[in-house]
Structure 1
Amino acid sequence: MSNRNDSKFLLEYRGDGVYLLVFPPIRGESVPSPNDIIMELHSRKVENPDLNKVRKALENPGEAVLVAPPQQEVLVDGTCRVDVSRNKMEAYLFITPPRGGKPVTREDVNKALEQAGVKAGIDEEAIELALSMERMTEPLVVARGKAAEDGQPARIDYKFNPGGMPGKPKELIDGRVDFYNLDLIQNVEAGQVLAEKIPATPGVPGFTVTGEELPPRQGKDVILAAGKNVELTNDGLVAVSTINGHVVLQGNKITVSNILEVKGDVDFSTGNIDFNGSVIVKGSVNDGFTVKAEADIEIQGSVSGGFVHCGGNLKIKSGIVGRSKGMIVCRGSVYTQFIENASVTAGQDIVVGEAIMHSHVSAGKTVTVGGKGVIVGGVIRAGEEIQAKIVGSNLATLTELEAGVNPYLRLEYAKAKTELVAKENELEKATKALTLLKQMQQSLGELPTDKKAIVVKVAQTQAQLVKDMEALKNDLENMEYQIAQSERGRILVEGVIHSGVRVTIGMASLHVHDDIHFACLTKDGSEIKISSYR
């Protein structure tokens, strides 16, 4: 019998002994070493090999050389071995090919796996690959464990910026930079979700190739903490605001406050303020900046060329300097020391400590000027009453006082009159256009198609204008009736009303030509009645 080894040499068992035939090397192949052949002889259990004869066979490729005495060929079966890594996460299979005996079978591999304690993560494809290989040069991984997947830590998904807003000026479409609107305040409403907690996960267990379970580490928990005016749902996973206000993260607690405090001035460091609660400004509102609040506003300095929109009451400790552009709009009452060159509108009362100068002031109820009690220049309107000490000046400065009619009603009345005039002008233009088109039709006999379309369109516009004008006239009549019925308005002047002052109560008007002292002005029919101050 013979057995060829990797096409490099051949052992032949003959009657007179064991012969070794070394094949001439093919181009690029190496010649087997003496050790290669000796190891093969040993593995084949060849007895009493002659090493000198082995060297002779190597020196004479292609010639069969007797290297051992006659003997029976020993057939060696293939073997397999499975080793498990120290961490038990991998199992390695090594197969030794047969030497004339039986090859390793799948059953042999299964027994080796069992003996090594391998129970999990077995790679069937890797085993089939190992069995198909003629010779293995290194062990093959045939089983792999799976590492445990640790749980994900809990996290909080904030629905606001927990670090506060960046407050960076925005670049506008035209390339200019808006330094006024920095959006530093994070307004929230009652019932609004502020944050959600995503719970930690338990993780996924792993296993070793020997079947041992590898427990995962539970994800680390975090606490969703509710501060003032914030509630958690029963499961503790959702934080909800209980009020309108601004939200901040204080430490690890989510807090909502319905009072916003500005430590200093409203200027380029703060930007405009737009808040859905109350605002306290420790300083002043500077030129061009705006403060908006749905509730009360307290300004401990002044408003200088700024804009204030207040849903509640407004208190300005110093005064209002409008610079002919500042505007105050308040649903409640306004309290301040003085008003100068400003527009101030209040739904309730306006109470001024010293003076109103060259301003447009409107109050749903009363305008009261204490202290020096000066009103000079501008237009002062009150739904019920105006109180002052000195109205106008020695220079006959034009000053208008209107009482007894809600300023909003008078404003709507003026607006409706202006709109009616505009509609009348439009109607006149439409009528002239139709007249010209009719004249054209008479001269041509028939209008071109495009002109016919214009006739239809202008006629529709004319009809709509007539309809709109009728509605405006009805509105004006209703408002005139309301104004005429007003009897409660009065103007109280403890000192003097100078000449140049115009007084209107309801629909009655009076232009003061001579100073009036210590007077109470009321409406008497269609006239203004002047009585002594009381």
Structure 2
Amino acid sequence: MVTLDKIRLDMAELQKLDQSVRSVEVHADTLDEALADAAVQLNTKVSNLEYEVKEKGFDGFFGIAKRPWFITVYQNAESVAKSAKFKELQKSGLMDMDEEIENIDRDGEFFLHHFGTDICLKVNLPVGEGKPVNLADILNDIKRPDTVDFDENLIKKFAAKGTGGVYETVGHYSRNPAADAIFVVDISKDELKATCTINPPALGGADVSHSQIETALKGQGVVAGISDEKIEALVDRPSYNVPVVVAEAVLPVDGRDAYIAYNFETDRSKMRAKEAANGQVDFKELNLIQNVVEGQPLAQKMLPERGKSGKTLFGRYLEAKNGKDINLPLGKNVTLDSDGRTILAACNGQVLLINDKINVEPIMEIDGVNIKSGNITFLGTVIVNGNVEDGYNVKASGNIEVNGEVGASTLESDGDIIVSHGIVGRDECKILCGGSLWAKFIQNSRVEVEENVIVQDSIMNCEVSAQHRIILQGKRAQITGGHLFATETVLAKNIGSAGGGTETVIEVGIDPRAKHRLEDLREMQEKALKELDELELNIQTLENTKKVRRVLPAEKEESLKRFNLRKNELSRENDEFNKEIEEILAHLRELKNIGKVYVSGTVYAGVKIFVRDEKDEVRANVKSVTFYYDEGFVRRGKYEKPDFEDVKGPEGYSNS
């Protein structure tokens, strides 16, 4: 029957358990690391933890915009209860402090001592696979010449069930007070320690009890730091003629100083090159740049802690020092969060610790991109004062400025790319630009830009795609070989070469990206239709066989099902191809700018000019000409210098 008193007892037990549950807040790069850290702080296993996610972590993109996990971790109720039971067993002497309840195997043990005129027994039960106490051993020890009587049945009961960590009277002996053990309690001069030294009893003498030692300590004025565990251990296993500590002062604990918890590596010497899965080091990926995004937490000041005062054995106050506060290491382009102690990035860029201050640099300036720097990935603008050597890459969310030459490399930028000298691609260079590209010359490279390509000298044997214009306006301004696409305009002095040689193709009046996608779609559709024809032939063959035989072998029937599934899948893909192709064609038809090619010098024989997919193949050299679209044909008109005032560029790279 459930009574009100029973409910009250259960509620009190639950409240006690809830109060014993501790929690910690943890920041870490991964959830596993955060839980491992919390397990250390809570002194338990990860399997015993429950947690609440305060802020979900993010691995970032190629390590960019990485954000740590922030979780609150609790020890689950079951493990708290188990821990409480474990502490009770420790207190009873069943196990040592550093052992865990589920992993321990300990034999049972007994302690037999003479207190007053009583023979007292304490039995600790075995733990795990440990052996029980041997009744014969207890009886052998109790049978001494001074023993008067003992209760064997009671001893048998305690040997089997234990005494619950306390001494129980099981018999009597003939006491000789002159033979009692003698003990003395000494207090250190600094009042920090009290020791007990015991001289062993003779036959018929009484042992020193827990209450005797405690009474002696209090009799000398000890009011703090008395250790029941140490006294109990000394009573159980006396160390004779040796001073044993039984009480210690509560020492003061100085408060921890404030400190900065950094979310980035502050020691650049610890930054290591990336390792491949096989363990080999990729020396092009040196990981020397720590990118951050605006609003990303960079560090947090952990507040100083107050010290915890102590007491001497006599209760005298021992003062503790409070932790010291520190100033926040605020540098350039950082700000404080609303909590007043979390430092955030105020812009995208590279986080650096300079003169013990946190800075975010939106511009990265390096001497060159080579084996010393490795590949560069940066959330901001990159300025390279030298060359970008063959095989190395630069990726930037801002601009890329190269004051030297670019080799067989890859440059990717969300902004503009400026190359003071030239680009010598050796058929392995790739330029992807979210703005405009300026260069002295471009050779044997693939270039894709969202706005304009502006070149001073020449473009040779390149595939260049510009969503707006391709402009060459230097002394040579020569386009030789390759395939150039521009939605609006191509301007050059000369196109092609006098001796012919490599093919030169210019296309304007179209969206280069859309046209490339259209070509890819048609190629994929052609492959899909070819596979569809083969499937239909196989399906027809199997169905005809089934009509004749009425039943197909299991293997053939499975093949027929598989062929039909694939046919349906290809049919859906073909419908999607048709839909996207029609959308692209409609987009190309709706382009308002029909495109023009301006040539102030010579267009050499062999050059192919496309305006809105209409072709004009130049059979003989033509000078000072403009190619344009008119009523379904490519027309040639007199050259008129176009007005490109809206094309603004960096210093030294204007279109004029």
TM-score of Structure 1 vs Structure 2, range by shorter chain: 0.7 to 0.9
TM-score by length of 1: 0.77
Is 1:85 aligned to residue 191 of structure 2? no
Contact 2:199 2:241 (8 Å CA) reproduced: no
Deviation at 1:85, TM superposition (A): 1.5
**Equivalent residue for 2:582, pick from 477, 483, 490:** 477
Within 2, Cα distance between the matches of 1:453 and 1:232? 66
Contact 1:369 1:388 (8 Å CA) reproduced: yes
**Greater C-alpha Rg:** 1
Contact 2:274 2:287 (8 Å CA) reproduced: no
* Structure 1 residues 83 and 347: CA distance shift in structure 2, 3 A: same
Letter of the structure 1 residue corresponding to residue 256 of structure 2: Q
Q: Deviations over 1:15-42 (max 9, x none)?
A: xxxxxxxxxxxxxxxxxxxxxxxxxxxx
Within 2, Cα distance between the matches of 1:134 and 1:528? 112
Q: Deviations over 1:332-388 (max 9, x none)?
A: 100000000011111000000110001011110000011111000001111100000
TM-score by length of 2: 0.64
Within 1, Cα distance between the matches of 2:600 and 2:483? 19
Within 1, Cα distance between the matches of 2:570 and 2:182? 107
Within 2, Cα distance between the matches of 1:210 and 1:424? 96
Partner SS, residue 268 of structure 2 = coil
Partner SS, residue 325 of structure 1 = strand
The answer for the alignment partner of 2:427 in structure 1 is 324
The answer for the alignment partner of 1:368 in structure 2 is 471
Aligned residues: 459
**Equivalent residue for 2:383, pick from 250, 270, 280:** 280
Is 1:159 aligned to residue 263 of structure 2? yes
Greater RCO, CA 8 A, separation 6+: 1
**Equivalent residue for 1:502, pick from 608, 626, 649:** 608
The answer for the alignment partner of 1:462 in structure 2 is 567
Within 2, Cα distance between the matches of 1:159 and 1:126? 44
Q: Which has the higher helix share?
A: 2
Partner SS, residue 421 of structure 2 = coil
Contact 1:164 1:248 (8 Å CA) reproduced: no
Partner SS, residue 304 of structure 1 = coil
Is 1:257 aligned to residue 361 of structure 2? yes
Within 2, Cα distance between the matches of 1:170 and 1:112? 67
Deviation at 1:516, TM superposition (A): 1.3
* Structure 1 residues 123 and 326: CA distance shift in structure 2, 3 A: closer
The answer for the alignment partner of 1:15 in structure 2 is none
Within 2, Cα distance between the matches of 1:462 and 1:135? 89
Contact 1:224 1:236 (8 Å CA) reproduced: no
Contact 2:330 2:357 (8 Å CA) reproduced: yes
Describe how 1:176-215 pairs up with structure 2 within 5 A. Answer: 176-215=280-319
Is 1:453 aligned to residue 550 of structure 2? no
Describe how 1:28-67 pairs up with structure 2 within 5 A. Answer: none
**Equivalent residue for 1:354, pick from 454, 457, 463:** 457
Contact 1:165 1:183 (8 Å CA) reproduced: no
The answer for the alignment partner of 1:65 in structure 2 is none
Within 2, Cα distance between the matches of 1:455 and 1:134? 88
User: Which piece of structure 1 moves more, 144-153 or 393-402?
Assistant: 144-153
* Structure 1 residues 234 and 128: CA distance shift in structure 2, 3 A: closer
Letter of the structure 2 residue corresponding to residue 269 of structure 1: K
**Equivalent residue for 1:519, pick from 594, 619, 625:** 625
Unaligned runs of 5+ in 2: 1-177, 202-206, 641-656
* Structure 1 residues 139 and 443: CA distance shift in structure 2, 3 A: closer
* Structure 1 residues 449 and 110: CA distance shift in structure 2, 3 A: closer
* Structure 1 residues 524 and 115: CA distance shift in structure 2, 3 A: same
Question: Superposition RMSD on alpha carbons, in Å?
Answer: 3.5
* Structure 1 residues 477 and 137: CA distance shift in structure 2, 3 A: closer
Contact 1:95 1:130 (8 Å CA) reproduced: no
Letter of the structure 2 residue corresponding to residue 252 of structure 1: D
Deviation at 1:125, TM superposition (A): 7.6
The answer for the alignment partner of 2:370 in structure 1 is 267
Within 2, Cα distance between the matches of 1:499 and 1:415? 30
Within 1, Cα distance between the matches of 2:482 and 2:555? 53
Within 2, Cα distance between the matches of 1:446 and 1:135? 94
Within 2, Cα distance between the matches of 1:292 and 1:180? 13
**Equivalent residue for 2:248, pick from 144, 150, 156:** 144
Letter of the structure 2 residue corresponding to residue 436 of structure 1: T
The answer for the alignment partner of 1:299 in structure 2 is 402
Contact 1:484 1:507 (8 Å CA) reproduced: no
Letter of the structure 1 residue corresponding to residue 293 of structure 2: E
Within 2, Cα distance between the matches of 1:168 and 1:304? 26
* Structure 1 residues 186 and 105: CA distance shift in structure 2, 3 A: closer
Letter of the structure 1 residue corresponding to residue 629 of structure 2: K
* Structure 1 residues 145 and 403: CA distance shift in structure 2, 3 A: same
Q: Deviations over 1:127-165 (max 9, x none)?
A: 799999999856665543122222233332211101126
* Structure 1 residues 508 and 108: CA distance shift in structure 2, 3 A: closer
Within 2, Cα distance between the matches of 1:415 and 1:135? 89
* Structure 1 residues 110 and 237: CA distance shift in structure 2, 3 A: same
* Structure 1 residues 269 and 139: CA distance shift in structure 2, 3 A: closer
Contact 1:483 1:507 (8 Å CA) reproduced: no
* Structure 1 residues 358 and 167: CA distance shift in structure 2, 3 A: farther
* Structure 1 residues 337 and 115: CA distance shift in structure 2, 3 A: same
* Structure 1 residues 81 and 488: CA distance shift in structure 2, 3 A: same
Deviation at 1:316, TM superposition (A): 0.6
Within 2, Cα distance between the matches of 1:279 and 1:235? 33
User: Which piece of structure 1 moves more, 138-147 or 197-206?
Assistant: 138-147
The answer for the alignment partner of 1:30 in structure 2 is none
Within 1, Cα distance between the matches of 2:403 and 2:525? 44
Letter of the structure 1 residue corresponding to residue 623 of structure 2: H
Letter of the structure 1 residue corresponding to residue 550 of structure 2: G
The answer for the alignment partner of 1:529 in structure 2 is 635
Letter of the structure 1 residue corresponding to residue 521 of structure 2: A
